Amino acid sequence: MGGLSVFYQTAGSGPVVLILHGWGGSSASWSKVQEALASEGFKTVCPDLPGFGRTKAPGKTWSLDDYAMFVLEFADSLSLDDFFLVGHSFGGRISIKLSSIKPERIKKMILCGSAGLKMEKDLKTRIVSNCVSFAKYSPFLKKLLKRPLYHFLGSRDYVRADEQMKKIMAFAISEDLKPLLPLISQETLLVWGDKDKLVPLKYANVFKEKIKNSQLEVVKGAGHALNLERPLVLADKISSFLKK
């Protein structure tokens, strides 16, 4: 696929659940969810997306469309004609894009703490972002301030990424997927932690409003990484949704 050797993990047998992890994640971060879904009679497949885990980064700046086409090629390579699709955070972006390109391949969709909407900047974020912009005019200030400021903003993924992945991240978050939401035809489950600070719960309500055939499940006391914080709860909600 695009000349890349793709690492992926599978578990179980039965109807296929294709899992797309979030930015900075990998298939390893979904192992407990995969095991739990396998015990419920599903076959789970979770690839390390290009640039993450054990799959090398693409040789150019990929767009969301490129990642969506990669997922389709990956599914084709495993003869997965259709599947249930789970997308977390950045994987949610890809899932939304994929549903607009090949809706017939997706039987049902689960979005967990999904990214994809333009997010409002609070006062703290606006102030710190302006400091980051100002620092660009001084190499010394840029070196001194940029890393701690991005950490203060919660953008650790950006700080840790290499230059190629930083470009991809900037490219990805520049696209507002809100216009695609009313076009989603699949029955969709939204799963959110009520303590999610990266994609706050209010954005889940926007997804719920815009995706016609959707339902929202809120996990009390959980943050953004439901797959790590509450893997068994998440797996139970996914399994119940897929079985009904």
127-183 pLDDT, tens digit per residue, is 444 544 554 555 554 554 455 544 443 445 444 556 777 788 887 778 899 999 999
Rounded Cα gap, residues 203 and 181, in angstroms? 12
For the chain, residues classed under CATH 3.40.50.1820 are: 8-118+176-243
What's the token pair of residue 110?
A: 């689960």
What pLDDT digit, counting tens, does each position of 141-156 carry? 455 445 554 444 344 5
102, amino acid identity: K
- 10 Å Cβ neighbour count for 221? 9
Which residue shows structure tokens 């997306």? 49
What's the token pair of residue 231?
A: 């893997």
Give 184's DSSP letter.
-
What's the token pair of residue 65?
A: 């469309």
Backbone angles phi, psi at 235, to 5 degrees: -60, -40
- The answer to whether the beta carbons of residues 157 and 26 sit under 8 Å apart is no
Task: For residue 127, give the 3-state DSSP assignment.
Answer: helix
The pLDDT of residue 80 is 96
The pLDDT of residue 173 is 78
- The answer to whether the beta carbons of residues 64 and 173 sit under 8 Å apart is no
Comparing 10 with 161, the larger pLDDT belongs to: 10
> Which one of 3.10.310.30, 3.30.910.20, 3.40.50.1820, 3.40.50.300 gives the CATH number of domain 8-118+176-243?
3.40.50.1820
What's the token pair of residue 158?
A: 């950006």
Based on its alpha-carbon atoms, the radius of gyration of the chain, rounded to whole angstroms, reads 18
Task: For residue 12, give the 3-state DSSP assignment.
Answer: coil
Q: What is the mean pLDDT of the chain?
A: 86
The pLDDT of residue 69 is 95
Which residue shows structure tokens 């797996």? 235
Comparing 173 with 23, the larger pLDDT belongs to: 23
